[in-house]
Structures are given as C-alpha cells and as structure tokens.
C-alpha cells in the first residue's frame, strides 16, 4: 500500500489542473516569501498575510463555481487521496485479504478487515496507485473480473461473521480488454450486484473520486450511498459519451453537463443519499482531514443502519435500487 502526506497547502503545486494555476502560483509565491523570511530573519508578514487572504478567497470562489467538467478534473486530480490514503486515515487496524480463489489477486480492488473506531468492518475499494509502477500494477483502478470476484468472496465472508461492509468507489470503469471479457467481466459485475442486493449485513458505499459505469456498480450497491463533493458518478465517462454522440472527444465538457454526474445532480435525482463536503480547494489539499470527515460520516451511517432489523434492511435496500430512475 502506498502512503502519502496529509496534503496541506501547496500539495498540488506540481500537479494542479488548469483552473488551479492561479492558486498554485500564489501558493508558490507565499512559500518563497516564507522560506526567505525563515532563512534571512526578515519580517515579511506584511507581504505574506495579504497574499494568504487573497489565496483563500481565490480558492473559495474557484471551488464553489466549478462546472461539471471541472469537477471531473478534480475527481481525477493526480494528488487526490486514493484508497490506501483513506485506509490509513480512517482505520485503526487493517488486515488485507487477497485472491478470488479462482484466477488471481487483482490489485485494482483491495479488500480487508479493519477497525473503524469501535466497529469491525470489511472495507473494499478501488486502488489506483501512486507513481507509475504502482499505477500500472493496479491497472489505474480498472478492475478485471477476478477483482470483482475477490470482492464478492470477501463480502460473503463478512456476512458470515456479521460484519458491516464499507466500499470506496474510485474507478474510470472496469477493464474492457479481451482477457477480462474472456474471463466474464460482465457476468462478474452482474453477479456482484445480485449478491450485494441480498447480503444480510449493513452496506455503506461512497464514491471518493471517479464512479465510472459498471466498474463502480460492481462494488456499489448498498443501504447508504454517498459521494464526495468533487467526485462524479456516471454511466459513461464524458469522453466516451462525446465520442459516441458527437464523434468528437473535445465535446467532453458538454457531455459532462448533460450526464448530470456531479454529486449535486445525483442528490437532486435521488441517486445518492448525501454529498459529503471536502476541505476547501478539494480533498487533495488536506487528505487527512478528508479521511477523518469520511470516517465520521461512515460511522454515523453504520450507527443508523445497525438499528434496523436485518429483514427490513434487505427489503429497503432492494426497494431503493428499484426506485432509481423512476
């Protein structure tokens, strides 16, 4: 598992998205002045403080007016927290479980038992990786069928031990290669949906970054479904939609608006239960704080679900699925 720092100011200084550039330039200027003050002993507070205020205002105005396409860019931000960051920030203990008992261990989906506060849980999530080598090993978060089969085997194990399940969704989509199709990609995802609908334990699902198509659905069916403020959830990527409808990938921003894929759109449509706020400027600016916020929300969801008789819980889950799109 990869590790990363908490992501304070300037964490995205070398990897920002286009609309972040004015913010990054200000942060770099502030960092230079602070470094100069530290090395020379000069009092530069008069110059630094106005720049900090200007930077805070710029972050507020920029991230409260994002278009759907800009939110997609934030969801894909190279410094955005990934599964391993959330595990490190939320769980006091974590024991990873490997393999699907059939073919192999797909690193694009990670599963394991952990302790969330006082609760034992099974956590399942897409892992995108940090750095080129790990990203390639994790297939950039695009799982093969063995990844979804691994997830299901572990979720059935959690049901056996009566442990709640938490899934963190962050994938551009399931891997569409020939090998994956030969090994039953569509069947594996469909099987997960079928089985998750009737698992007799509480299930909480959260989209933390990208929620792409069947890749997200394969671990995305539960009693509570939430999404982070700058994540997205869609039947197809904006680029894929643009290529199909307009034969032009440059229409991706138009497609993003039409797909209604932002958390705010999904909440209005009744697809998600809550949009979880991110730190100012996005989760990539303070990964530790984002993990703690998510931990609190998941704990609250589990506390609510634990009070519901299991037969009622399963019935409500199925009814919830049936209501989508009505």
Q: Express as a percent the part of the chain with pLDDT over 90.
A: 65
Share of the chain above pLDDT 70, in %: 95
Cβ atoms of 169 and 212 closer than 8 Å: no
Residue 297: closest CA among 199, 158, 204: 204
Contact by Cβ (8 Å): 286, 81? no
Contact of 121 with 90, CB cutoff 8 Å: no
pLDDT at 13 over 60: no
DSSP-derived letter for residue 180 is: H
d(CA 10, CA 1): 24
Q: In this structure, are residues 71 and 262 in contact, taking their beta carbons and an 8 Å threshold? A: yes
Tens of pLDDT, residues 158-186? 999 999 999 999 999 898 899 999 998 99
Q: Are 58 and 263 in contact (CB under 8 A)?
A: no
Tokens of residue 151, six digits? 């997830």
How many Å apart are CA 135 and CA 36, to the nearest integer? 37
Both tokens of residue 309?
Answer: 């008789």
Buried b (16+ CB within 10 A) or exposed e, 64-73: eebebbbbbb
Residue reference for tokens 């949906």: 193
pLDDT band at 301; cut points 50, 70, 90: very high
Distance CA 118, CA 214 (A): 33
Q: For tokens 């706020």, name the residue.
A: 277
Bridge partners of residue 212, in order along the sequence: 234
- Distance, C-alpha 27 to centroid of its chain: 26
**pLDDT for position 210:** 94
* pLDDT tens for each residue of 238-268: 998 999 999 988 899 999 999 999 999 999 9
Q: What is the DSSP letter of 262?
A: B
Task: Measure the CA–CA gap between 29 and 221, rounded to whole angstroms.
Answer: 45
Judge contact between 74 and 262, C-beta under 8 A.
no
Q: Where are the domains of the chain?
A: 72-323
Q: What is the pLDDT of residues 177-233, one digit of tens each?
A: 999 999 989 999 999 999 999 999 999 999 999 998 888 999 999 999 999 999 999
- Given this model, what pLDDT does residue 16 score? 61
Q: 72-323 adopts what CATH topology?
A: 2-enoyl-CoA Hydratase; Chain A, domain 1 (3.90.226)
Say what the pLDDT of residue 2 is. 41
pLDDT digits (tens, 9 = 90+) for 54-75: 878 888 888 888 899 999 999 9
Quote the pLDDT of residue 187: 94
Which tokens go with 78?
A: 């190279």
Tell me the per-residue pLDDT of 126-147, one tens digit each, with 9 for 90 and over: 999 998 999 999 989 999 999 9
């Amino acid at each position: 598992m990869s590790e990363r720092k908490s992501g304070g100011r300037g964490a995205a200084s070398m990897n920002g998205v286009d609309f972040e550039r004015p913010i990054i330039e200000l942060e770099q200027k502030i960092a230079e002045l602070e470094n100069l003050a530290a090395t020379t002993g000069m009092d530069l507070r008069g110059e630094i403080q106005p720049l900090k205020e200007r930077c805070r205002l710029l972050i507020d105005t920029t991230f409260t007016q994002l278009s759907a396409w800009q939110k997609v860019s934030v969801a894909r931000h190279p410094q955005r927290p990934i599964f391993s960051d959330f595990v490190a920030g939320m769980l006091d203990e974590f024991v990873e479980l490997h393999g699907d008992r059939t073919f192999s261990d797909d690193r694009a989906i990670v599963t394991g038992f952990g302790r969330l506060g006082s609760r034992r849980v099974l956590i399942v999530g897409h892992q995108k990786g940090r750095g080129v080598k790990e990203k390639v090993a994790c297939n950039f978060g695009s799982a093969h069928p063995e990844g979804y089969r691994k997830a299901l085997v572990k979720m059935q194990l959690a049901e056996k031990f009566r442990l709640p399940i938490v899934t963190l969704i962050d994938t551009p989509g399931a891997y569409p290669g020939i090998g994956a199709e030969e090994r039953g990609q569509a069947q594996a995802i469909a099987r997960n949906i079928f089985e998750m609908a009737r698992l007799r334990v509480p299930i909480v699902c959260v989209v933390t970054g990208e929620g792409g198509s069947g890749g997200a659905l394969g671990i995305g069916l539960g009693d509570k479904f939430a999404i982070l403020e700058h994540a997205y959830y869609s039947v197809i990527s904006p680029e894929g939609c643009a290529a199909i409808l307009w034969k032009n990938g440059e229409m991706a921003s138009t497609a993003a608006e039409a797909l209604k894929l932002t958390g705010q759109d999904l909440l209005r449509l009744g697809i998600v239960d809550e949009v979880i706020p991110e730190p100012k400027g996005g989760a990539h600016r303070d990964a530790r704080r984002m993990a703690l916020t998510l931990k609190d929300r998941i704990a609250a969801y589990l506390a609510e679900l634990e009070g519901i008789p299991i037969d009622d819980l399963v019935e409500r889950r199925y009814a919830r699925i049936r209501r989508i799109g009505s």
